[in-house]
Amino acid sequence: MANVRTYRTNVRIGNWNEDLRLQEDAMKEYLERKQRGELSTQKVDFLKQNILRPVNLAVTKDGGLHFGDVVMLVNMGGENRECSALSINADINGLTKSPSPSIQDPCGISAGRGIQPCTRTAFIITSVDGCPEGSTLHFEQSFALKTTSGFARGLYLTSDLKNFQKCAKKSRLQEVNLTDDDSFLSCWKAVHFDPQERLEYEGHRVPANVKVLIVHCKTNQALAVLGDHVLWTTYGKEYEVTAHTFLDSHKAEQDNNHWILCTSDPEGEGLLLLNHPQSEAQDAGLTQANTDI
């Protein structure tokens, strides 16, 4: 008779009243957080809605790059990585609501496989030596790369010498991130990708939609994307970005350091790089850059 149940199934036992109150409090808290937009899914949706908002890139009429142009930095990929674009790596923990919704400083950077011009992938070529907006950018001339205003806050692409406390998470190489510091740490320069022609092109204007090196002025390390160091972010599988020059056996920079500053296609919608073969754009850009200074 010890195993015979002496009460019905609807009889409440134990701390039933306390458990009921806890369930009601948990549901009430959930509804309040949902109303305030504090649920994780709501934060992710809010982040993607703002950071993936389309942006109009600059349209170059003379084939060159100018201060004030909005561009995308694209790496065409290599043996162990796909084509990717320099992107803001912000998550739901890196957002601020005051005075207006935006990403926090500092913010990480990565190379995403989504080649679409948006707030996350758009950067403004900014003068650091007093050149007026609209003037031509030349090889070896210092400039800054700044995110768009508003949600991206106009942060600068910054790097510094690595140490034990400050380095890239995966590769332990020189870290690259976004800050509001517009000092010498945020100065970069465009260098011709072919070392044998580098001296010849020094001082010439930088053509758009052509492979170049983006070199950090202080450390002399080139911006690089690492295919063997994968980051799993809010936006999916992406690659780590560092400042490190990768050289082959001929002392030439490898494709990890090759970047294309993409502009919009003046003849239609989309990127000029995707609408036209790269070889044609490169030949036209280099020919025009060689004739103009």
Which residue in this structure is represented by tokens 């009601």? 24
Give the pLDDT confidence score for residue 282 in this predicted structure.
47
**Residues with Cβ < 8 Å from 196, sequence gap 6 or more?**
none
Phi, psi of 124 (to 5 degrees): -105, 130
Chain centroid to CA 183: 20
Give the pLDDT confidence score for residue 7 in this predicted structure.
65
Give the pLDDT confidence score for residue 289 in this predicted structure.
43
Give the pLDDT confidence score for residue 146 in this predicted structure.
96
Strands 107-112 and 236-243 come out as antiparallel
What digits encode the pLDDT tens for the residues 5-63? 666 767 777 787 888 888 888 898 888 888 877 788 888 898 999 999 999 999 988 88
Phi, psi of 169 (to 5 degrees): -65, -45
Phi, psi of 17 (to 5 degrees): -70, -40
From first to last of its 293 residues, what are the pLDDT tens digits of the chain?
A: 456 666 676 777 778 788 888 888 889 888 888 887 778 888 889 899 999 999 999 998 888 999 999 999 999 988 888 999 999 999 888 888 777 889 998 999 999 998 889 999 999 999 999 999 999 999 999 999 999 999 999 999 999 999 888 999 999 999 999 999 899 999 999 999 999 999 999 989 999 999 999 999 999 999 999 999 999 999 999 999 999 999 999 899 999 999 999 998 777 666 766 655 444 444 444 444 444 44
Neighbouring CB atoms inside 10 A of 138's CB total 20
**178 and 105 Cβ atoms separated by less than 8 Å:** yes
